[in-house]
Amino acid sequence: MKYSLKEKENRSVLRQGIIDGIPIGLGYFAVAFSLGVAARSEGVTPLQGFIASLLCNTSTGEHAVFTLMGINAAFIEVALVTLIANARYLLMSFAMSQRTDPKTSLLHRMGMSFFITDEIFGISVARQGYLNPLYTYGAALVAAPCWATGTALGIIAGSALPLRVVSALGVALYGMFIAIIIPPAKKDKIVLLMVLLSFGASYAASVLPVVRDISEGTRTIILTVVLSAAAALIFPKKTEGEGKK
Tell me the pLDDT tens digit for each residue of 66-110: 888 877 888 888 888 888 777 778 878 888 888 888 888 999 999
DSSP, residue by residue, 18-47? HHHHHHHHHHHHHHHHHHHHHHHTTT--HH
Indicate the pLDDT class of residue 51, thresholds 50, 70 and 90: very high
The residue ranges of every structural domain in the chain are 5-173, 188-236
Indicate the pLDDT class of residue 245, thresholds 50, 70 and 90: very low
Q: Is 32 exposed, middle or buried (0-12, 13-18, 19+ CB in 10 A)?
A: buried
* Type of residue numbered 162: P
114: CB partners within 8 A, 6+ apart? 57
Indicate the pLDDT class of residue 166, thresholds 50, 70 and 90: low
**pTM score, two decimals?**
0.66
Indicate the pLDDT class of residue 180, thresholds 50, 70 and 90: low
Q: HSE-up of 76 (CA within 13 Å, CB side)? A: 2
Q: Quick one: which H or E segment has residue 61?
A: helix 59-70
Amino acid 139: pLDDT: 92
**Separation between Cα atoms, residue 52 and residue 56, nearest integer Å:** 6
**Separation between Cα atoms, residue 55 and residue 151, nearest integer Å:** 12
